[in-house]
Amino acid sequence: MSGILNSSIGRKFAMALSALFLMFFLLQHFSINILSVFSPETFNDVSHFMGTFPLVQYVLQPVLIFGVVFHFVMGFVLEIKNNKARRISYAKNNGGANSSWMSRNMIWSGAAILAFVCLHFYDFWFPEINTKFIVGDMSGLVDPNNAASGYRYFEELQHKFVDLWRVVLYVVAFVFLALHLLHGFDSAFQSVGANNKYTKGLKRFSKIYAIGIPLGFIFIAVFHFLNH
Amino acid sequence: MDMNLTLKIWRQKNASDKGSMVDYKVSDISPDMSFLEMLDVLNEQLINNDEEPVAFDHDCREGICGMCSLYINGEAHGPDRGVTTCQLHMRMFKDGDTITIEPFRATAFPVVKDLIVDRSSFDRIQHAGGFISVNTSGNTIDANATPINKADADTAFEAATCIGCGACVASCKNSSAMLFVGAKVSQFALLPQGKVEATDRVLNMVKQMDDEGFGNCTNTGACEVECPKGISLENIARMNREYLAASLKG
């Protein structure tokens, strides 16, 4: 077991596990966000539960943050190592003849997603942490002194999508997310050694996931922009 | 119709020389020639002009030995599929074409001269575990006497068709050797004779692969497309499974 993370296959495996975890998280995140379109009350209730339930806040959230940081750091570490494996580039390289654009540019789509994650944290996560742990307001209410004011989550969500520039940035980021997932989804399964009779079906499902989830997030952002 | 071509070829005097692309013209090239025969024509032309011929690797010229390499117009072994450079024919090109010819590029495949690269890193990976230990003291069991599932035997044979040419490394944007090592691990992992040393084999071969400076596989699939023998990505997945299981064993 020793040194597994120092091996190329071990790093691949760890990268794939963090990717599978993040893809599961993305599905869960989408499932909650889409509630904001159909039922603001349910969205508020679920958001409050996720924002205050100790298991989510103090166990799953740190695991998620570790997963995100690990995936990005490992991605850049592997890119640097891979660049060292070919110090002199080809004068002419026809990469499009044998591989997809997405597979060859994971580092760039990943970097775009990282920039988006920073914006997303600035928009939602930091204010949330500030409200709960610095201000000390765990009530989740619009007015913490008035229980009748209702939960603040839906209003905060809608408020963020007032500006067109932010909606455009989110849409662009989700396009990069789709490009990343179009290669990343089934690639993660290959990395953990799962290439078998189910691979064809998995590839079809991966396309549905890779396009469907980001498209859903785009729909949510545009919906709130148009319905504010 | 015979062709006139412009060739842009990487020239490098020796391993320490910086090297550069040099342009050449060749004329009256038959579409029925192989790519290496076209380079023979160029070299005769160069020798007649008292110039240094272009050094390139070749041996069997039947697509079996894996010696010929070359990165042609941005692809390992050129634009055709399922062939080595010696089996690539000039009919794949048109009169007036400019063809760019480079050595396989990878830190683990240093250029020796012109288009020749040192692929002995593959040999060292093989030495690390690409074999089975058989007692040849006189009581060796006939391999055919061991029952083997037909599907496993076929898959092992397909993996064993890897000729170690290095096109997988050359095509991979990361210069990863995982298709080569995956094939060499798979051909034994599927057979009873290979299972005895399976744990050490995969650990040692992967370690040697990493020590040689090959990159990490990011599953682009370029290696599978460019492989002249059609070695499947399934072999990399199998190696990953073998490696992870071997690591857990210790």
The answer to whether the CB of B76 falls within 8 A of the CB of B102 is: no
The answer to whether the CB of A34 falls within 8 A of the CB of A220 is: yes
How do the domains of chain A map onto residue ranges? 4-85+100-226
pLDDT at B231: 98
CB within 8 Å: A86 and B10: no
CA-based nearest distance A90→chain B, Å: 7
Whether B128 and B234 share a structural domain: yes
Helices A164-191 and A106-120 meet at what angle, rounded to 10? 130
- What average pLDDT does this structure show over A170-184? 98
Q: Does B214 touch chain A (CB under 8 A)?
A: yes
Whether B167 and B219 share a structural domain: yes
A141: helix, coil or strand? Answer: strand
CB within 8 Å: A13 and B106: no
- What average pLDDT does this structure show over A194-203? 91
The answer to whether the CB of A44 falls within 8 A of the CB of A153 is: yes
Whether B125 and B241 share a structural domain: yes
Would you say residue A21 has pLDDT above 80?
Answer: yes
Domain final position from B59, B91, B112:
B112
Contact partners, residue B221, CB within 8 Å, separation at least 6: A98, A99, A100, A103, B233
In the predicted model, what is the mean pLDDT of chain A? 95
Amino acid sitting at position B17: D
pLDDT at B160: 97
Whether B19 and B135 share a structural domain: no
CB neighbourhood size of B51 (10 A): 11
pLDDT tens-place string over residues B109-157? 999 999 999 999 999 999 999 999 988 777 777 878 889 999 999 999 9
Would you say residue B243 has pLDDT above 60?
Answer: yes
Amino acid sitting at position B196: V
Q: How confident is the model at residue B200 (pLDDT cuts 50, 70, 90)?
A: very high
Q: DSSP letters of chain B?
A: --EEEEEEEEE-SSTTS--EEEEEEEEEE-TTSBHHHHHHHHHHHHHHTT-PPPP---S-SSS-S-----EETTEET-SSSS--GGG-BGGGS-TT-EEEEE----TTS-EEETTEE--HHHHHHHHHH-S-----SS-PPPGGGS---HHHHHHHHHHHT-----HHHHHSTT---HHHHHHHHHHHHTSHHHHTTHHHHHHHHHHHHHHTT--------HHHHH-TT---THHHHHHHHHHHHHHHH-
Would you say residue B214 has pLDDT above 70?
Answer: yes
- Cβ under 8 Å to B: A residues 61-80: 78
Whether B56 and B146 share a structural domain: no
pLDDT at B50: 98
- Cβ under 8 Å to A: B residues 107-166: 107-108
Would you say residue A99 has pLDDT above 70?
Answer: yes
Contact partners, residue B59, CB within 8 Å, separation at least 6: B65, B67, B68
Q: Does A99 touch chain B (CB under 8 A)?
A: yes
Whether B149 and B176 share a structural domain: yes
Would you say residue A1 has pLDDT above 60?
Answer: no
Residue of B nearest to A1 (CA): B247
ipTM of the complex: 0.94
Q: How many structural domains comprise chain B?
A: 2
CA-based nearest distance B154→chain A, Å: 16
Measured CA to CA, the distance from residue B23 to residue B8 in angstroms comes to: 5
Residue of A nearest to B79 (CA): A97
CB within 8 Å: B236 and A98: no
CB within 8 Å: B247 and A1: yes
CA-based nearest distance A126→chain B, Å: 33
Whether B154 and B68 share a structural domain: no
> For domain A4-85+100-226, is the CATH number 1.10.3470?
no
Whether B130 and B232 share a structural domain: yes
Nearest to B1 by CA among B93, B130, B123: B93
Whether B82 and B160 share a structural domain: no
pLDDT at B136: 79
CA-based nearest distance B191→chain A, Å: 18
Nearest to B16 by CA among B89, B90, B110: B110
In the predicted model, what is the mean pLDDT of chain B? 96
pLDDT tens-place string over residues A7-20? 999 999 999 999 99
CA-based nearest distance A106→chain B, Å: 9
Residue of A nearest to B98 (CA): A92
User: Pick from B21, B105, B225: which is nearest to A86 by CB?
Assistant: B105
Would you say residue A124 has pLDDT above 80?
Answer: yes
Q: How confident is the model at residue A83 (pLDDT cuts 50, 70, 90)?
A: very high
pLDDT at B144: 84
pLDDT at B103: 98
Would you say residue A198 has pLDDT above 80?
Answer: yes
Whether B152 and B94 share a structural domain: no
With b meaning 16 or more CB within 10 Å and e meaning fewer, what string describes A81-110? bbbebbeeebebbebeebbeebbbbbbebb
* A194 chain-B contacts, CB cut-off 8 A: 237
- What average pLDDT does this structure show over B186-209? 96
Residue of B nearest to A193 (CA): B237
User: Pick from A10, A13, A98: which is nearest to B225 by CB?
Assistant: A98
pLDDT at A28: 97
Measured CA to CA, the distance from residue B144 to residue B197 in angstroms comes to: 20
Mutate to test the interface with B, among A74, A99, A106 (most CBs of B within 10 A): A99
- What average pLDDT does this structure show over A43-48? 97
- What average pLDDT does this structure show over A32-42? 97
Domain coverage including residue B35 = 3-112
pLDDT tens-place string over residues B34-81? 999 999 999 999 999 999 999 999 999 999 999 999 999 999 999 999
State the CATH number of the domain containing residue B42: 3.10.20.30
pLDDT tens-place string over residues B97-112? 999 999 999 999 999 9
Q: Where are the alpha helices (DSSP H) in A60-105?
A: 61-84, 101-104
pLDDT tens-place string over residues B5-32? 999 999 999 999 999 999 999 999 999 9
Domain final position from B73, B97, B112:
B112
CA-based nearest distance A214→chain B, Å: 22
Q: How confident is the model at residue A2 (pLDDT cuts 50, 70, 90)?
A: low
Measured CA to CA, the distance from residue A220 to residue B37 in angstroms comes to: 61
State the CATH number of the domain containing residue B159: 1.10.1060.10
Domain final position from B112, B136, B166:
B112
B175, two tokens: 């210069």
Residue of A nearest to B208 (CA): A7
CA atoms within 13 A on the CB side of B35: 29
Would you say residue A38 has pLDDT above 70?
Answer: yes
